[in-house]
Amino acid sequence: MPIYLDNNATTPMDPRVLEEMLPYFLNKFGNAASRTHAYGWEAEEAVEHGRENIANLIGANPNEIVFTSGATEAINLAIKGIFESSVKEINHIITVQTEHKAVLDTCRSIEKRGAQVTYLPVDVNGLISLQELQAAITKDTLLIAVMFANNETGVIQPVREIGEIAVKHGIHFFTDATQAVGKIPVNVKENNVALMAFSAHKLYGPKGIGALFVRKKNGPALTAQIDGGGHERNRRSGTLNVPGIVGLGKACELAEAELTMETERLTELRNQLESRLSGLNIVINATSAPRLPHCTNITFNDIDGEKLILEASSRVAFSQSSACTSATIQPSHVLKAMGLTDEIIHNSFRLSLGRFTTSEQVDMAIEVISKIVKSHQSERN
């Protein structure tokens, strides 16, 4: 199998997470909503334990965690839910051009129903201007929706300052923290976050389970997007995915315990990768911005980007654009918003390291990529 350097797309499940989940597929199979027997009680207890682990990681209270099928559903619940619960005139949302498609498409969906949406630009490093954010606020602004860390570049937005601006103006702050939770310190209270979406499969948990943090004190009202049974305090109906919740809870527990050590290790590996590739006529995108410790976005000059990724694919797995838009051969909207041309974007790649990436694997990946890039560049020169 090729060396895996696409951890922003998804992470492999940690064996310790799988071990925790397995009993809930087999002998502990109860429905957490079954209140009349031991099978249901056992499942409910597991769900609440998972909820506590998740809350501990992000500085929340357990009753502020709403389980969903993943970050995309959580994003839809947050944005559509708050829009549908608001007074008709208070319908303005501020977001950013470099948000994940789940946020952008959800915003475009509610625009068709009367929402007014401002899409803030970013600078060459992918960062918003706090002055432009403040200038965009009107008396009708309902929500500020800014991603915590970008999935393509790893750029970390000034979340604390955004939260302070939101509080100052009495506006709710939503952040898509799918790439940040479990990778860097995330505290919803310190950052004045009202709503936050994240997903298990980005932090070594299972696919198909995620959560939405909804602040309880002075938090927003949300209209449920799935009806039928009133689960999750009437915010998200449906039988709870008990094994998935157990897995997400365990993944959060492990992330909290190992965060500092992993941050240091992955920063060192990323620096090793960027340093060793620096002699290949490259540009590291957003290098002047705060970035996730495990992620780099690199432009290789004088190559054919499509050929590079095809030639490398049997030995190294990485991404030419964000995984969620790779089905369409369109230039990355993130890099485009940062001012890169289509040609440069075509030769730009995301390499994202993970918990199971070793220094030896990074060395091997560097060797493979360097050999292909040098071959391309010599052909063109």
107 is annotated as an active-site residue: no
| Beta strand ranges found along the chain (DSSP E) | 3-4, 65-68, 92-96, 116-120, 141-145, 172-176, 195-199, 210-214, 282-284, 295-300, 316-317, 348-352
| Beta strand ranges found along 228-380 (DSSP E) | 282-284, 295-300, 316-317, 348-352
20 token code pair: 């925790």
Q: How many helices (H) and strands (E) does the chain have?
A: 12, 12
Q: How far is CA 114 from CA 84, 117, 136, 243, in A?
A: 11, 10, 18, 39
Eight-class DSSP state of 15: H
| Rounded distance between C-alpha atoms, residue 100 and residue 323, angstroms | 11
| Rounded distance between C-alpha atoms, residue 45 and residue 40, angstroms | 9
The one catalytic residue among 107, 252, 295, 324: 324
- The residues, any chain, with a CB within 8 Å of residue 328's CB and separated by 6 or more, are none
Active site residues: 324
